[in-house]
Structure formats: C-alpha cells, structure tokens
Structure 1
Amino acid sequence: MTGDGNRGRATVIDVTQARDARIHNFLLGGHDHYESDRDAVRRLMGLAPNTPQLARINREFLERAVRYLSAQCGIGQFLDHGCGLPTRENVHQIARRAGTDARVVYIDNDPVVLAHARMMLDGDSTLILDADLLDFSTILDRSERAGMLDRAAPVAVLFTSVLHCIADTRNPWRHVRELINQLPSGSVLVLSHLAGEDHASNEEASELMRELTGQQWAQIRSFADVARFFDGLEPLGGPIGDVARWRPAAGLSLRPADRTWTVYGGVARKR
C-alpha cells in the first residue's frame, strides 16, 4: 500500500478505551483487540446476544457487494470509508479475485487501523488515508493527486457499518450526498448500518456504546433514516433493506432470531 504522508507521526494507542474497529475485529474472529474491546462486546451482548452474527452478516454483505461490482459491473475504483481492521480479505483482494485490477483507497483515522494497514498492505494500486470520513474534499483531492482516482470513471463508495459513529448533528446524509454528487454517473454507493424500529432499544444500546467507546459511537438509526442515504439513487442488485437478503449466497449467515436490530442498507447507483 502506498503511503499517505503521515508515517512519521507517533502512534499512541489507549488500550483501556474500547474502539469500534477493534470491537469489530474481535467479533469477526481477529486478533487485534484488547480486554477493553472484549468487555465492550460482552456488555453489548447483554442487550443483543446476536451481535457476532450481525457483524458476520455485515462482512458477508461487503464481500458480496465488492465481488458483484467488480465482476459484473466493471467497477475498478473503490473508496472504503472506515475500513477497519481486516480479519478476512481486504477490498482490493476481493476485487482482484473477481478479476478486476482495482484501485482501492482506504480511509480511516483510528491509529491502530492506520498502523496495521501501513504494515500489512502494499502495492501501487492501494492507498491508506488518515482522514475524517466526511471530509470528502480532502479524500477526493488526495486520492486524485496520488493517481488513485479517475473522476471520469465510475467509483464505488463504501460506508459499511461505520456511519453509526457519525452523529445526526454532523448531517451525514448531506455529506454522503455531496460526495456522490462529485462523482460521475455510474458511481455506486455501498452502505450498511445497524438499524431498528424500537427507538427506546436503539437509544439504550447506543448510549451503552457511547459510554464504552468514549463517545466514539453515535447511534443506531431507524430503517427510514438509513434509507435516506440512498435518496435519488437507483437500487442495484436488490432492494434497500436487510443486507442478509441482498444477493444471498450459499453458506450465508442465518438471520438472527432476535429481530430487534438489522444490518440495513444495500447498493445503489448514480444515474
């Protein structure tokens, strides 16, 4: 993976504070986590025992979406926002297995994620950016200057299980829409978000995660609020909804018996 100009900055990791990326790493069977992260999962599972299964459903959706966009839609550029700590194949590896020599820009600002990516990923067609997920002007400019983004060709924009970290006060819907508006026709939004229709349950779990992650989390949203991210876009490969039902594959994780929360989202194209 090519550099992002921040290699000289010291990385300070607070292992006593749970972090979203390390929590997901633990849920998916990875090894890059600490007791604070494992404790956060144990406490969250007190409210949602199916939390590990929801994490697997989300990851399987990401893998299916990247394969589909690479092999069947010819997408060769990906912006992966909040890429997290890989426990399985990275986006560029999934795309290449599908037969596309894709260029992939990974965007995150978690020091553990950045350090891991710089050590483990290489190649001329991948880039890691230390950036705010919603600072699309910086992301697009730096990606283009690095030769990783052709704004004349369609781009797949990935926000999988990350926008729960962005509060309503920052208006993530506006930021996602403005990013898509900067990209050419044929570009695609891939988005998933933990969602539920019981407001009290949503807020109880969100408050717990805000406490455990030092306010890194923001909130679980309603289905309607997640669907708003796709306004003006054309659903692709299936409807917006439960991502476990988006182009399901053999061996897919079963739907959880507890339906309090769903990984909600889909894939949609800019006309």
Structure 2
Amino acid sequence: MDLGRINIIGCGRAAGSLARLWVEAGSVCIGDVINRTFESAERAVTRTGAGHAVTAVSSMSRAEYWLIGANDDRIEDLAELLADSVTGLERSVVFHLAGRFGLEVLEPLAKTGACLAALHPVRSLTDAKLTVEEFRGTACVAEGSSAALDRLQPLITSIGGSWLPVDSINRGLYHASVSIVSNITKAVAWKAQKWQQKAGLPAATAATVTHQLLQSTMVDLARAGAKKTITGPVVRGDTSTIEAHLGAIRHSHPEDIDVYRVLARTVLELAQERGDLDEETLQRFQSLFRN
C-alpha cells in the first residue's frame, strides 16, 4: 500500500512513534520533517529511519498528508504558518494529534482548500520501539471533513489502528476523561508503590504487586466493566477497614490523605449506583471521606 507522502511539522514522541509505524508498514513515505531546531529534526529523522530534515516550513515539498505534531499550544500558530508559507495545499490532508482540540486550531488553513482533521490515538506514544503489532487495536478518535476522514482512515488502519470517527465533541471533557484513565492511573500506581514501600515492601515487590493488580483490573474492565466488578471495603460497607486505611495514611503520609478521600468518594459513588449500601453506612462513609 502506498498512500503517498507525509510531511511532519513537530516530530516529537507521538508524531515520531506514528512515523516509525508507517515506515514499518510501508504505507506512506515520510517526507520533510521540521522541528524547533535543525539538529532536533535530524535526530527525529534518524529515529524514524526515514524522512528529510529541513529548516523552514516554506521549504517543505508538496505532500498528500501534513501532520502537525507539535505541542498543543503551538498548533494554531503552526497552522497559520503553514497556510501562509506553502502553496498547493488543495486536497492535502492536514491533521493534528491533540486530544484537547478539534478543528478550531486548524482554522487558518481553511482558506487553502486543505482537508482538515483532528486525530487522537488513545494510547501513550512514548515507546521508540513500538511496533505495528503492539499498536494494533488502538482506538484512534478522528474528527474532520468527510474528505479528510476518507483519506486519513487508510493511513490509520494500515498500522492496525481502530478507526473511531466522531462528530464535534466537548474536547475539554473528553481529554480530561482519557487523561484520568492513562496519566492519572499511572500517577496513582506510582503513589501506591510509595505507600507499599513505606509499609515495608521492597521496591521490586511493590512494583510487581501494583502491576499484577493493574493487569487483573484491566481484565475485569474488559470482561464486565467497572460497575459489575468493583470490590473492596467500600462496596462491602466495611467502615472499620476504611478507618484503618485513613489512620495509616494520616500517620505515614499525611500529605496524601486527601488523595485517598477523593478517590474513595468515586468508589462510593459507584457503590451507590449499584445499590450496595444502606443509608446509615452511606452517611458514615460520606463523613469519613469529607475533607
């Protein structure tokens, strides 16, 4: 499959990961690559194994696809720079990878006749050795014109992505939701390992315990969802165990007491939705989890 050529403006971790996948799949030719500095662009080309580093957007050759992979706060400025610097963008597909933005940051390109899209692969793209097989099945949420999506879809399916087109959505809320699942889950796992080590577990053992719990949790979620598989002292109505948790955290990590309470309130909300708790127990938990 040869879908043409793609130029990349801002080839960091995410854009670089996708570029390497496209090289592996042989589905598109990596064209010109530009970063903040020429040296950075050269390093990106070396990591990708394809492409040509350039120093100015105006010097970039024509391409069927243009990926703006820069940091979120630079996308709109780069879209404007592209629109003002390059001719012949008619029918080229220009897209970005920022989950928090839709098409609004590409508005400067509307006058060029380019086909615009926002693509958000819902996974962490930080592994330089990520393979097509590992990427396979990754949800790729896409918003854009029908012309853009029709041409972007084969670019994603060629590397095994699961194509999920959407209409205009509340991007702030959407991005917050996926950040909770990914980044905040990692932060909570890190925090849990700190507590385990304080409790006396060696670091390696704490890592193993945490990873195994996360793996079994993912299996539960895939099998039946959170509502049917949630367990633990809150669901059981075991207030004495929760009191013991709070006492231990207050003693060893007092700065984290609010972290536990906030997360526990979410578990309580889920237990309420399931109807697990009587009113007296519910009120007791609410009192325990109040800041």
TM over 0.5: no
- Structure with more of its chain in helix, by fraction: 2
Larger radius of gyration: 2
RCO higher in structure (CA 8 A, sep ≥6): 1
